[in-house]
Chains A and B, each alone.
Chain A
Amino acid sequence: MDKPVNQKAWFLVLPVVLLVAFSAVIPLMTVVNYSVQDTFGNNEFFWAGLEWFDDLLHSDRFHEALWRQFLFSGIILLLEIPLGIAIALAMPRRGWTVPLCLVTMSLPLLIPWNAVGTIWQVFGRGDIGLLGHTLGQLGVDFNYTSDALDAWIIIVVMDVWHWTSLVVLLCYAGLRSIPDAFYQAARIDGAGRWAVFRYIQLPKMHRVLLIAVLLRFMDSFMIYTEPFVVTGGGPGNSTTFLSIDLVKMAIGQFDLGPAAAMSLVYFLIILLLSWIFYTVMTNAGRDRKARAHAAESIP
């Protein structure tokens, strides 16, 4: 639809532009500024050029944190997406149980993130935590403060508990939009549960799934609060993800230069990966739409 040009629109956008400028653009520019300078304290700054970036990209610590982050995001996606789909499939489609299920599913999403971290931190403790204590009783040696694997396990389980609901709700919405006639036709064709899932439900959930994957990827890549509250990045470095590492450097060591450089690199990585996802999504969408428009004779 063509919209006629109207200059008045710019005035409406102005307040938002100012707000975003103050809260995001100017701080970002400050970070860029820090990333190319060095200081020995006393507010004296020297131009350092790309020295920090160079250091960073060659630093083992950064590579390790990056690798840990990718591993984490990968595990999260592999667990949450199939689990979310499975739960969405199992949820009822009609009746009074529907709002009940929807509310139950939404509850984990409503809890503040550091509260989530605190819950699981206590939950996993061997002395007063229900999970930790039960595992201890069963003879399993579970200590997330000293064992790296246990720390990973508790963080992954916590994230799955916290965020799978988002995937569930998105997939459920996608499923609800499938007309009954498809299921009826599949029954008549003698298709089993798996065939119905593979040929009807999964293709129709295609778009929602892409959104779910994109959201979960971005969020898990930026994760900070929950693992920080539970393990603080420990034991040692084992759960120090990118953002935790960044904060350690910036606030812990007060190395503004390297920290600024790292946050810019971090920002660019997310931007690049999101752009890739977005392009894939819209290209697939456009391809479908273009063919459908050309072929279908229904307006």
Chain B
Amino acid sequence: MALTLDNCSRIVDGEVRLQDISLTLEAASLNVLLGPTLAGKTSLMRLMAGLDRPTEGRLLWNGKDVTGLRVQDRNVAMVYQSFINYPTMTVWQNIASPLKVAGLPRAEVKRRVEEAAKLLKLEPLLKRTPLQLSGGQQQRTAIARALVKGADLVLLDEPLANLDYKLREELREELPKIFAAAGSIFVYATAEPAEALLLGGKTATLSEGRVTQFGPTVEVYRQPNTLLTAQTFSDPPLNALPLEKRGDTLLAGEGLSWPATGPLAALADGRYILGIRPNHLYLKRPGGEALALAAKVAITEITGSESFLHLDFAGQRWVALAHGVHDLAVGSTAEVYLDPARCFVFDAGGALVAAPAR
């Protein structure tokens, strides 16, 4: 049971929503669509569901062309960001509704509803209506209703975005287990890289309607094939340092230069962009060969255990994430260090040349 998208594009009113999407989603897998708002996550999910037709390309389900198939004829379930439930029905009736539409016998309906309710911890709430529930409980009801159908494809469009962050954490813990038990293909859209990492499975990073990379989540995180993918998968934003390598020296803006050491020494001469994650921009010189640069402190944000330092360097705004409390004065100059072994190196076109070794 696999869903394949073959070169799908969707253009509406001259606007390109999706471009050249080719993906294969395996059975019983959790696939995360990661990207900022308007990157095309919702458009892609609607395409998979059959709510929209691709302008070009085909959709194949187990090798069979289903591009023209209506959404009612496909075995799909969807969960939305705004918890959508039938407001006048009880939780029990809400969960049972797709089964009633399918015409299943009463005993079977009862069994499946109770199973779903147990999985999502809704048993004490079965007689309430959605208006009497909290946000988290309403969303669980919506998820239960999506799961109870036993659909082959379950789509979740940023389902936790409207919940308090602690509730989000709890649900995020439970969801992978629930998904694994169900056995369908799950597609989960989110704008938060941390959420993708916590969910695991496979991730497809989207940017401006294109899928920039698709693979196991941790791999996409550690080996982004382009600068764009690395930036999509970074929160706080990735720091980018444009460099030129000439012989044994690295030249950066503002007349800075360093000897080319470590993995950078092996590069051919030319222009590169160094991608540094905020937690790899150090305040203390790390061991090994480090590059030092001076940046001006714009503001520091302390979050109890960590400090976010916003620095201005060569006309760019960088973010450094340091462990512990560092309250640097605004406008002061801070010495920060990069460890070349921990940086991503992209060529001038944005393609990955070197990634930090594991």
Contacts and interface: CB of A to CB of B under 8 A. Distances in A.
Contact of B37 (A1, A4, A298): A298
Interface string B218-254: 0000000000000000000000000000000000000
A101 B150 CA distance: 49
B52 interface: yes
A299 interface: yes
B52 A297 contact: no
A287 interface: no
A4 B73 CA distance: 12
The main secondary structure of chain A at its interface with chain B is loop
Given A4-B68, A4-B70, A299 B42 contact: yes
A2 B10 CA distance: 12
A297 B38 contact: yes
A241 B37 CA distance: 57
The DSSP consensus for interface residues of chain B is loop
A184 B53 CA distance: 44
Q: How large is the interface on A (under 10, 10 to 19, 20 to 34, 35 or more residues)?
A: under 10
A105 B44 CA distance: 48
Interface string A269-299: 0000000000000000000000000000111
A47 B17 CA distance: 60
A299 B53 contact: no
Interface residues of B, number: 8
Contacts of A298: 37
B104 interface: no
A1 B10 CA distance: 12
B201 to A, nearest CB: 23
A159 B342 CA distance: 80
B164 to A, nearest CB: 20
B330 interface: no
Contact of A1 (B38, B42, B52): B52
B82 to A, nearest CB: 11
Contacts of B70: 4
B37 A2 contact: no
A299 B37 contact: yes
Contacts of A1: 51-52
B112 to A, nearest CB: 30
Contact of A299 (B38, B51, B52, B68): B38
Contacts of B37: 297-299
A4 B67 CA distance: 11
A128 B121 CA distance: 74
Contacts of A299: 37-38, 42
B84 to A, nearest CB: 14
A293 to B, nearest CB: 9
A231 B52 CA distance: 59
Nearest to B52: A2
Interface string B67-94: 0101000000000000000000000000
B294 to A, nearest CB: 35
Contacts of B42: 299
Contacts of B52: 1-2
Interface string A91-115: 0000000000000000000000000
Nearest to B38: A297
A193 B297 CA distance: 47
Interface string A4-15: 100000000000
B320 to A, nearest CB: 27
Contacts of B51: 1
3 closest Cβ pairs, A-B complex:
A2-B53, A4-B70, A297-B37
Given A1-B52, A299-B37, A299-B38, 10 more contacts: A1-B51, A2-B52, A2-B53, A4-B53, A4-B68, A4-B70, A297-B37, A297-B38, A298-B37, A299-B42
13 contacts: A1-B51, A1-B52, A2-B52, A2-B53, A4-B53, A4-B68, A4-B70, A297-B37, A297-B38, A298-B37, A299-B37, A299-B38, A299-B42
Interface of A: 1-2, 4, 297-299
